[in-house]
Amino acid sequence: MKAHTKETQSTMTPAKAIQFLKEGNQRFQSNLKANRNLLEQVNDTSEGQFPFATILSCIDSRVSAELVFDQGLGDIFSVRIAGNFVNEDILGSMEFACKLAGTKVIVVLGHTSCGAVKGACDDAKLGNLTAMLSKIKPAVSAVAEPADTSLRNSKNLDFVDNVSKKNVELTIDRIHAESPVLSEMEKNGEIKIVGAMYDINTGAVSFY
C-alpha cells in the first residue's frame, strides 16, 4: 500500500475517510495488516504529507491510532494526551491538520478502562496531574448513574467506561464551541467530527 498523495487525499470525503478507518480496524482485529513498505513510505512522504484523518486519542500505550486503524506513514495526524481532551494548543493543531493540511475527519477516540478517567473518578491529586484531571471531571459529573457515591469510582468499570464515552462527547462539544474554523468546515461538509471508543479487550473500535 502506497502513502497518500495530494491526488488521493483530494478524492477523499469525510464518509470515505471514516470507512477507511473502519476497514483498517477490521484488519487489525483480524491480524491481517495491509501490505505496505514503511521504508518506501518514508521516501514517498519525504517531500510532503497528505493525511486523510486526524485522531485525538489517549496516551495509553495500548491505544496507538496507527496500529488500531492499520495505517502507515503519512496517513493520519495523531494527537495524544491523557484523557483525550482538547485545549487551545490541541485545537490549533487540529485546525492546521484540517484547514491547511487537508484531513477530512477528526476522530475523538476514547477507550475502556482509561487510567486518566479513573483518576478523575477518584479525584486523584498529584502535581500537574491534578489540573489535567480537572479537564475530565465535567464528564464524571455528567454521568448520573449510579447515584450511590460508593459506586462512583475507578473500581466500577461500567461507570468508568460511561464516563469515558461522555468525555468523548463533551470533547466534541468543546471542539464545536471553541473552534469556529472547524465548526464552519463541518457545516460546509468539508470535514466530519466523530467520536469513537476502543475496547482494550477486543481491539474493536466503535464509532458513534
Q: Answer whether 167's CB lies under 8 Å from 195's CB.
A: no
What is the three-class DSSP state of 196? Answer: strand
Element (H, E) at 160: helix 157-178
Written as one string, the DSSP assignment of 28-87 is: HHHT------HHHHHHHTTT----SEEEEE---TT--HHHHTT--TTSEEEEE-TT----
Q: Is 58 marked as binding a ligand?
A: yes
Q: Answer whether 167's CB lies under 8 Å from 139's CB.
A: yes
Nine cell digits for residue 151 = 459506586
Which residue is listed with cell 496500529? 67
Nine cell digits for residue 205 = 473500535
CA dihedral 25, 200, 117, 122 (to 10 degrees): 170
Query: Which residues sit in the known binding site for Zn(2+)?
Result: 58, 60, 111, 114
Query: Which residues sit in the known binding site?
Result: 58, 60, 111, 114
